[in-house]
Amino acid sequence: MRVPLMAGNWKMHKGVGQAVALVQALKESLADVTDREILVCPPFTTLYPVAETLRGSNIELGGQNIYPKEEGAYTGEVSPTMLLDVGCRYVILGHSERRRYFKEADEFINRKVDLVLEHSLRPILCVGETLEQREAGQEVAVVAKQVRECLAGVTGEGMKEVVIAYEPLWAIGTGRTATPEQAQTMHQTIRDILKGLYGPETAQATRIIYGGSVKPGNVDDLMREPDIDGALVGGASLKAESFVRIVRFEE
């Protein structure tokens, strides 16, 4: 059984006061939830106060990125050990906004996945195609290449810690969600790729979550699909009311 992972990616939003107020509200409203994992990924500057606020709660903490080195002269960057130190359990890697604005390529993301696994942090590896690629019928080839290259060298044992997030770029921040059928088809394809790489057991155990305009109004239908194991939520994770409803999806 795959435990659903309901994750909020706050991106570049919220200062300390707003971040603490949001997680305080989430903590109170979600205290009874035990059958799904809840995760928030705030910006680096608010990780520490958010971790303090979440102490003893059922909500976990994640970062939005790392640089693939332990420490050193890398101005402006943050290492996996720093995320662990502040209480993170997860880290988002290879988000399409990083691929697009910071030119992150699969080989570089692969180095991050490797180092994160060495440090017992759990990577949430993001993959997804552009609208252009989908319209050209290339979505499976694009996503398959991202999965294979970003996971190069990762062992079956390492895969136990990996979550894959399918985030079609045309659905991010656009209000245009993939239909449950479109998402399910790609999730199943990703699971088939994992089966080829790691065998059926690992493929069945790996969580594949969906991201791209997930909202209270569409989460139930998405979560009903057999290969959708959770959500990576951007905009709708910034307000307690909508994120709480998303976490409390009904199948």
Q: Which residues are catalytic?
A: 95, 167
> How far is 245 from 90, CA to CA, in rounded Å?
22
Q: Which of 68, 158, 212, 230 binds ligand 13P (CB under 6 A)?
A: 212
CA-only gyration radius of the chain, Å: 17
Contact call for residue 233 and ligand 13P (CB under 6 A): yes
Task: Give residues with Cβ within 8 angstroms of 123, minimum separation 6.
Answer: 90, 91, 93, 112, 113, 116, 117, 161, 162, 163
Which of positions 150-179 make contact with ligand 13P (CB under 6 A)? Answer: 167, 172-173
Contact call for residue 217 and ligand 13P (CB under 6 A): no
Contact call for residue 63 and ligand 13P (CB under 6 A): no
Minimal distance, residue 69 CB to ligand 13P, in Å = 24
3-class DSSP state of 99: helix
Which of positions 81-140 make contact with ligand 13P (CB under 6 A)? Answer: 95
Report the residue number, 40 or 203, with the smaller CB distance to ligand 13P: 40
Contact call for residue 230 and ligand 13P (CB under 6 A): no
Contact call for residue 211 and ligand 13P (CB under 6 A): yes
Contact call for residue 64 and ligand 13P (CB under 6 A): no
Cβ proximity of 138 and 179 under 8 Å: no
Say which residue the tokens 């919220």 belong to: 14
Cβ proximity of 201 and 157 under 8 Å: no
DSSP annotation of 95:
-
Cα–Cα distances in Å, from 105 out to 20, 95, 154?
Answer: 33, 11, 17
Interface map 23-62 toward ligand 13P (x if CB under 6 A): ----------------------------------------
Report the residue number, 202 or 213, with the smaller CB distance to ligand 13P: 213
Minimal distance, residue 248 CB to ligand 13P, in Å = 17
From 7, 44, 46, select the one nearest 26 (Cα to Cα): 7
Residues that bind ligand 13P (CB under 6 A): 9, 95, 167, 172-173, 211-214, 232-236
